[in-house]
Amino acid sequence: MRVGSMTHQKGLFISFEGVDGSGKSTQARMLYDHLRSIGYPVTLTREPGDWSEGRKLRDILLNGDLKHGKTELFLFLADRCENLSQVIIPSLSRGEVVLCDRYTDSTLAYQCFGRGFNLEEVESLFCWSGFPVPDITLLLSISQEESLSRMKGRGTSDRLESDLSLMSKVSLGFRSLSDRYPDRICILDGEGNPDKVFSRVLEAVERIFW
Ligand code: TMP
């Protein structure tokens, strides 16, 4: 595993990425259930907000009235620092498989491609913060029409989801990240029913690791 300054990890680190409505949370949960059922020690987490006091930070990030252009970026990074310290690193150190629903590629897609921050500068913040690089990233790809229709189906949208021009930049951003990191990012067709998509997820995971 490639790591930053947070060392001594033995487990397997898999991140799930995609635009809102891509089905990544459903797929991460299905992989979690599957791996548990066959006896793997596995932890499922998500960003932002999945640590002891993370709900407050998630609420500010998704619904807060943020004025300074860099607050959002720094809060996502701060959230990740806590999720790493409280959840991800301890689980990896115990040798578990960690499934993380959104991670650094979301910051690159939303805050860099979406909001316009410089990608190299933000990556140097990742490095400075000692964020480990996932062993593999499963990027679920769906069309923008499908993403919009799934979000409409959910009824509500948060501060980021309701910004349509941001969403289209994010979608292109994820594509560009998969070209930039072809060895790490595995792009999967996210269209179709959840079982069908899960067969693609499982095939990719088995091909890569087992
Ligand atoms: P979720 O609804 O998939 O949990 O994601 C929450 C929102 O936060 C989603 O619109 C993507 C956004 N986000 C960022 O903008 N940057 C990040 O680094 C992360 C982790 C999420």
CATH code of the domain in which 29 resides: 3.40.50.300
Residue 69 lies in a domain: yes
Q: Which of 118-122, 154-158, 183-187 has the lowest mean pLDDT?
A: 154-158
Does the beta carbon of 20 sit less than 6 angstroms from any atom of ligand 1?
Answer: yes
pLDDT of 16 over the 80 cut: yes
User: What number does the ligand 1 atom closest to the CA of 61 have?
Assistant: 8
pLDDT of 91 over the 90 cut: yes
Residue 7 lies in a domain: no
Does the beta carbon of 110 sit less than 6 angstroms from any atom of ligand 1?
Answer: yes
Q: Which pLDDT does position 208 carry in this prediction?
A: 82
| pLDDT tens-digit map of 56-80 | 999 999 999 999 989 999 999 999 9
Amino acid identity, residue 9?
Answer: Q
Distances (CA, A) of 28 to 2, 25, 126, 146: 22, 5, 23, 19
Q: Which pLDDT does position 32 carry in this prediction?
A: 98
Q: Which pLDDT does position 204 carry in this prediction?
A: 95
User: What number does the ligand 1 atom closest to the CA of 24 have?
Assistant: 3
Cβ contacts of residue 87 below 8 Å, gap of 6+? 43, 45, 50, 51, 98
Residue 2 lies in a domain: no
Residue 5 lies in a domain: no
Percentage of the chain exceeding pLDDT 90: 80
Separation of CA 169 and ligand 1 centre (Å): 14
Residue 1 lies in a domain: no
Ligand 1 pocket test: which of 29, 57, 70, 106 has the largest number of ligand atoms within 8 Å of its C-beta?
106
Q: Which pLDDT does position 9 carry in this prediction?
A: 65
Does the beta carbon of 24 sit less than 6 angstroms from any atom of ligand 1?
Answer: no
pLDDT of 142 over the 90 cut: yes
Place 44 in a pLDDT band, splitting at 50, 70 and 90.
very high
Q: Which pLDDT does position 144 carry in this prediction?
A: 83
Q: How many domains, the chain?
A: 1
Percentage of the chain exceeding pLDDT 70: 95
Q: Which pLDDT does position 4 carry in this prediction?
A: 44
Separation of CA 105 and ligand 1 centre (Å): 10
Residue 44 lies in a domain: yes
Does the beta carbon of 107 sit less than 6 angstroms from any atom of ligand 1?
Answer: yes
Residue 4 lies in a domain: no
Q: Which pLDDT does position 8 carry in this prediction?
A: 46
CA dist 33 and 27 (Å) reads: 10
Mean pLDDT calculated for residue range 121-146: 96
The model carries a pTM of 0.93
Place 164 in a pLDDT band, splitting at 50, 70 and 90.
confident
Which domain does 187 fall in, by range? 12-209
Residue 174 lies in a domain: yes
Share the mean pLDDT of the chain.
Answer: 92
